[in-house]
Amino acid sequence: MPEGHSVHRIALQFARHFVGHEIAVSSPQGRFEVGAAELDGRTMTDARASGKQLFLEFSSDRWLRVHLGMYGAWDFVIEDSLASIGAPRRLRIAESERLGNAIEHFPPEPVGQVRVRLLTTTAVADLRGPTACEVLSPAEVDSVIAALGPDPQLDPSPEAEQRFVSAVLKKQTPIGLLLMDQSVIGGIGNVYRAELLFRAQLNPHTPGKVVPAEVLRAIWRDWAHLLADGVSTGQMLTMTNLDDEALARAIANRDDRHWVYHRAGVPCRVCGTPIVMEIAASRKLYYCQFCQQ
Ligand SMILES: [Zn+2]
């Protein structure tokens, strides 16, 4: 499942290459024919993300809302460079292919089950396997975004921070689950959840209502920082103060990027205690029982 930084990066691709252009919209697979016909020929006027959802605005008050879910992915072909952001495997393919895998014809033939294709004279975006893909009115977009937890990349205001803090303090639910609850805070997935809790030295089982407000404010600001970094680099690099050698290792290898994520049974980088892995809400949760009390 893509985490928030990927969805913001997809919004940036649309902002760079599609906003301001008239878009030919189609559904090669056929499952989005009605929506595609409604959007076809309109100009894209805005592209933004909130949490894990993407919102593309078209002329005359029409929006396309997309949630990739576990398996969805966007593929972009911009002129002759190929870039894909979405499911992790595709992201890796994209990062290498972006270095110079040319395509012979533009636009390329749709490959596989393409739910929607957005096409300009120089750019094409193909969407496969989303959990949500629908046309909305501005009022409907407002109500979807209002029901989502705040996303510091979209809204870094003190009010957004306060919404997050208040939502957590109302709940008995463990903080480790609340951080993944998209109605509490936007965009955090399994990797960022584990790493934010380690960085806050907070036990994932702590009930939301007993976490000190200043710790929640620090988590919000840390998330804003990590998210902005992920949006600009495309990587979830969650360890800080790395020397040059450690930084090079981290950029080259996912296993050298994180404090606790995906490190079950491996000694904690700080205290040496083996990292614990538990299943929480059917997702793997990693933490250090010594550092996070
Ligand atoms: Zn530790």
Backbone φ and ψ of 256, nearest 5°? -105, 15
Which pLDDT score is estimated for 77?
84
Helix 213-233 crosses helix 158-169 at what angle (to 10 degrees)?
A: 120
How many other CB atoms sit within 10 Å of the CB of residue 161? 19
Distance 256 CA to ligand 1 centre (A): 16
CB of 197 within 8 A of CB of 292? Answer: yes
Which pLDDT score is estimated for 190?
94
Distance 285 CA to ligand 1 centre (A): 15
Strand partners, 128: 73, 114
Which pLDDT score is estimated for 100?
44
CB of 139 within 8 A of CB of 65? Answer: no
User: Cis ω on the peptide bond leading into residue 107 (within 30° of 0)?
Assistant: yes
Which pLDDT score is estimated for 83?
54
Which pLDDT score is estimated for 79?
72
Angle 93-47-26 from CA coordinates, rounded to 5° = 70
Which pLDDT score is estimated for 241?
81
Backbone φ and ψ of 126, nearest 5°? -110, 130
How many other CB atoms sit within 10 Å of the CB of residue 241? 6
Distance 276 CA to ligand 1 centre (A): 10
Strand partners, 132: 67
Which pLDDT score is estimated for 78?
80
Distance 73 CA to ligand 1 centre (A): 35
Distance 247 CA to ligand 1 centre (A): 20
Distance 225 CA to ligand 1 centre (A): 22
Distance 205 CA to ligand 1 centre (A): 16
CA distance 229 to 236: 8
Which pLDDT score is estimated for 281?
82
- Structure token digits, residue 288: 């250090």
Backbone φ and ψ of 273, nearest 5°? -65, 135
Which pLDDT score is estimated for 134?
98
Using one digit for the tens of pLDDT, what is the confidence trace for 246-292? 888 888 888 889 999 999 999 999 999 999 999 988 899 999 999 99
Which pLDDT score is estimated for 102?
55
CB of 287 within 8 A of CB of 197? Answer: yes
How many other CB atoms sit within 10 Å of the CB of residue 188? 27
pLDDT beneath 50: ranges in the chain: 87-100
Distance 189 CA to ligand 1 centre (A): 21
CB of 77 within 8 A of CB of 123? Answer: yes
Distance 203 CA to ligand 1 centre (A): 11
Which pLDDT score is estimated for 256?
87
Task: Report the catalytic residues.
Answer: 2-3, 52, 283
Which pLDDT score is estimated for 93?
32
CA distance 215 to 258: 21
